[in-house]
Each structure stands twice: as C-alpha cells, then as structure tokens.
C-alpha cells in the first residue's frame, strides 16, 4: 500500500475517534477560510459531540464483544443523546456536522 493511502487511512481513523477534530478540520476551518469568518464550536456543542462520541464508542465495544466499563454498559444501552437548550444554540449545526462525520468516516 502506498504511503498516501496509509496516511489517508490514519487521518480517517483519527477523525472516526475524534469527531471534534473532524468537525474543526473538515468543516469549520475550510468554511472560515472560504468565507473569511470566525465560526467556532461552542462549549455546549463540544459537550454534545463528546456525549455522542462516548455512546458510539460504547456501542462499538459492545458489538465487538470487547470488555466494557460500567459507564460503557450504561451508554451502550442508550438510544441516543438528548440535548435540551434554547432556540439558536447550534443544535441543528451539531446534528449536521455529526451526520457528515458519520458519512465520511463510516462511524
């Protein structure tokens, strides 16, 4: 396998494990560069991204038969993540970012 393919696989694997990196590197930074803006992921969005990451990781561990912590067992039984907040806080953007990340990385 050539080194470019190996590099690409490593980057995609890193993005699969770190949705926040994916969102910043693939969505936010290129958007800001193209539009000359300074859009950033908010703290609340970061918390939502981390919550989804934990649930996905726990479900993957369970499906692969890997050992799970008590937290993993609880998380792997969740259907999803509930985010309660006011209007205009970036929930739709967060959902869109995570969908794009799932399509690109397969996770």
Give residue-wise pLDDT tens across range 70-89: 999 999 999 989 888 888 88
pLDDT at site 103? 95
Burial 63-97 (b: 16+ CB within 10 A, else e): eeeeeeeeebeebbeeeebebeeeeeebbebbeeb
**Which range scores top for mean pLDDT: 2-11, 64-73, 75-84?**
64-73
pLDDT at site 27? 97
pLDDT average, residue stretch 99-107: 92
On whether the pTM is more than 0.85, the answer is yes
pLDDT average, residue stretch 10-28: 95
Question: How far apart, in whole angstroms, are the C-alpha atoms of residue 89 and residue 80?
Answer: 19
């Amino acid at each position: 396998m050539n080194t470019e393919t190996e590099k690409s696989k490593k980057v995609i694997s890193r993005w699969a494990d770190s949705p926040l990196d994916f969102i910043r590197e693939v969505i936010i930074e290129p958007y800001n560069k193209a539009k000359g803006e300074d859009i950033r992921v908010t703290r609340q969005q970061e918390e939502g991204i981390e919550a989804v990451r934990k649930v996905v990781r726990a479900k993957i561990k369970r499906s692969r038969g890997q050992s799970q912590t008590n937290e993993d067992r609880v998380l792997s039984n969740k259907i999803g993540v509930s985010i309660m907040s006011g209007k205009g806080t970036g929930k739709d953007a967060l959902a869109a970012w995570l969908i794009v990340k799932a399509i690109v990385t397969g996770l």
